Structure 1
Amino acid sequence: MVYLKNFYFASGIAEDLYLNDIQRTCYDSFYPFMILPQKGIDEIEFKDVTILYGGNGSGKSTMLNIIAEKIGAERMAPYNRSNFYEDYLGYCDLDYINAQMEEKLIITSDDIFDYMLDIRRLNEGIDTKREERLEEYLDYKYSSYQLKSIDDIEELRKRNAAKSKTQSKYIRETLLDNVREYSNGESAFKYFTSKIKENGIYLLDEPENSLSPEMQLELVNFLEQSVRAFRCQFIIATHSPFILSLKNALVYDLDKEPAGPNDWHKLKNVQAYYRFFMDRREEFEN
């Protein structure tokens, strides 16, 4: 589903602003005005899946953040701004085909890392409370308890529950035993599946971080299903060959001069993988 059709960057006006008395001696950067003109790209046309590809420093994350801010996408983690960011956004423009999306969200690597840290803190808390739960279980299991009033019913229920369970089962159930079942990659994948819902625009900044190749392929499958079944639109910044291979994705190559659409299998990063494996193909055949 295409909600956002076109986005127009404020390229080409940085020099005018500089000459029209915006220059201040205390500023040594006009970010993001001076980034995108170097790429020669003023406009992006979107499909169901649009990918911004490029090496480090190519501007793909900057472009993604600009689009996210202009459309008012919800975001969790902060990002780099500058004194001229709001001015820049004011000169950008966009076209919607269907503005009836239910959600606009940007998901960054920092969001994923923060989520995994939360899981780690929760697990640390579980370790701290494990001994407390063991003592609680032994008390419930083997001590006698008399019901004295209606207020004691809940306490009696807990004690009866403990008597009907093994020690390990009681501790697992009271400590959210499912938390520890996921690796970092599985937790990252779970974050995407929990955040991406129906009828939304989702901007993903390098979603391959923390994901193994197998998990990246699972994410690709999930994103393709979300486009087909849940009417989602995705704008993705990545250099992962797995993410780049998303079906029918429109890929903008920011490493080209000027930047513009390119076939995913012709991209510099993907060609490097291809040459690497082709040079070693005999090892795979043995």
Structure 2
Amino acid sequence: MGLQAKPYLQRITALFGDDIDWERHPYSVPAVRNLESISFHPDVTFFIGENGAGKSTVLESIALALGFGIDGGNKNISLNTASERAPLQHALRLSRSFRTPRDGYFFRAESFHNVSTHMDELWERDSASAESLHARSHGEAFMAVLLNKFKGRGLYLLDEPEAALSPNRQLAALTAIHQLVEEESQFIIATHSPILLAYPNAKILLFDGTGISEVAYEDTEHYSVTRDFLNHYPRRLEQLLKPE
């Protein structure tokens, strides 16, 4: 059997120095404090957890360690310095495949507007141009990037891509992700979406107060809470909205 190209990013290992202030963010977050190593699935690895659990912090630090800018985009886009905002990147050691991915992108929902503005300025497009990402909704702009900018055989890091996607668009994104996986791509995705999390055979890592642990899809809160609410929504609404 020949060598496998994927996963392009096989593992990260955290090597913390003696000068770390464990009371300071992000080291005070349990998932970061207890971080030793993470091994990635060749196709799709998901980071899940409550807001503030550290999943976006770790994903962002991986992206920076790989050479992406803190605002996202491809490796040719760098809008800010990352050293002060994401010190965790300096503790990460990356284990990679023998093959370098042909393509790469870091999507960060909260700064995607900045990246879109930069691209319009770079190509001298105004917001009325059909090619401008600002001429589209946030969801349309992300789908345009996913469908047109991701070329395959790539390493793609996505931070909450569902933020502006309707359920139907999430299904479309799931299809696009699968097509890219079939074209030898690898994804690492921080998400709250039970739709995206359903991707077959993905590795799901839960960030919580005990650290980081692998869970099955049907054991995630995203699946169980969504299923329970949809199956019993009249009763759940009555419980949630009853007078004090």
Q: How does 1:160-179 map to 2 (within 5 A)?
A: none
Report the CA distance between 1:253 and its aligned residue.
0.7
Contact 2:30 2:209 in 1 (8 A): no
For 1:96, the equivalent position in structure 2 comes to 96
TM-score for the superposition, normalised by structure 1 = 0.65
1:6 equivalent in structure 2: 11
Count how many residue pairs are aligned between Structure 1 and Structure 2: 217
Q: What is the aligned partner in structure 2 of residue 33 from structure 1?
A: 27
1:220-259 superposed matches below 5 A: 220-228=174-182, 230-255=183-208, 257-259=210-212
Which is higher, the Rg of structure 1 or of structure 2? 1
Amino acid at match of 2:7: V
Q: Is the 8 A contact 1:116 1:188 kept in 2?
A: no
> Whole-Å Cα distance in 1 between the matches of residues 134 and 12 of structure 2?
42
Counterpart for residue 215 of structure 1? 169
Q: Aligned partner of 1:224: which letter?
A: H
Secondary structure, in 3 states, of the residue corresponding to 2:104?
strand
Deviation (angstroms), 1:65: 0.8
- Flag the 1:79–1:51 CA change in 2: closer, same or farther, 3 A: farther
- For the aligned residue pairs, the C-alpha RMSD in angstroms reads 3.3
The Cα of 1:33 is off from its aligned counterpart by 3.2
Name the amino acid aligned to 2:27. F
Aligned counterparts, 1:57-68, within 5 A: 57-68=52-63
Q: 1:259 to 1:37 in 2, by over 3 A?
A: closer
Contact 1:251 1:263 in 2 (8 A): yes
Q: Where is the helix percentage greater, Structure 1 or Structure 2?
A: 1
Report if the CA contact (8 A) 1:224-1:247 is conserved.
no
Q: CA deviation at 1:68?
A: 0.7
Displacement of 1:182 after TM fit?
5.5
Q: Is the 8 A contact 1:112 1:191 kept in 2?
A: no
1:204 and 1:106 mapped to 2: Cα distance? 6
CA contact (8 A) 1:72 1:104 kept: no
> RCO (CA 8 Å, sep 6+): is it higher in 1 or 2?
1
TM-score after normalising by structure 2: 0.74
1:271–1:107 CA distance, 2 compared to 1 (3 A): same
Which position in structure 1 is the counterpart of 2:113? 113
Q: Note the C-alpha offset of 1:69.
A: 1.1
Aligned letter for 2:14?
F
- Give 1:122 shift: 1.9
CA shift in 2, pair 1:115/1:259, >3 Å? closer
* Displacement of 1:200: 1.3
Query: 2:36 and 2:54 mapped to 1: Cα distance?
Result: 13
Deviation at 1:97, TM superposition (A): 2.1
Change (3 A) 1:79 1:251: farther
Which amino acid counterpart does residue 249 of structure 1 have in structure 2? A
Contact 2:116 2:134 in 1 (8 A): no
- SS of equivalent to 1:209: helix
Paired AA for residue 192 in structure 1: L
SS at match of 1:219: helix
The C-alpha deviation readout for 1:188-220, integer Å capped at 9, x for no partner, is 211222221122111000000111000000000
Contact in 1 for aligned 2:7/2:97 (Cα 8 Å): yes
Match of 1:134 in 2: none
Aligned equivalents of 1:185, 1:84: Cα separation in 2? 27
Q: 1:206 aligns with which of 153, 160, 164?
A: 160
Measure the CA separation in 1 of the matches of 2:35 and 2:139. 34
CA spacing shift, 1:209–1:179, aligned 2, 3 Å: closer
Which blocks of at least 5 consecutive residues in structure 1 are unaligned? 127-175
Per-residue CA distance 1:43-70 (angstroms, 9 max, x = gap): 1110111110111111111000111111
Amino acid at match of 1:213: P
CA distance in 1, matches of 2:168, 2:146: 15
Q: Which residue matches 1:138?
A: none
The verdict on how the C-alpha distance between 1:116 and 1:211 changes in structure 2, with shifts beyond 3 A counting, is farther
Distance 1:115 1:84 in 2: 18
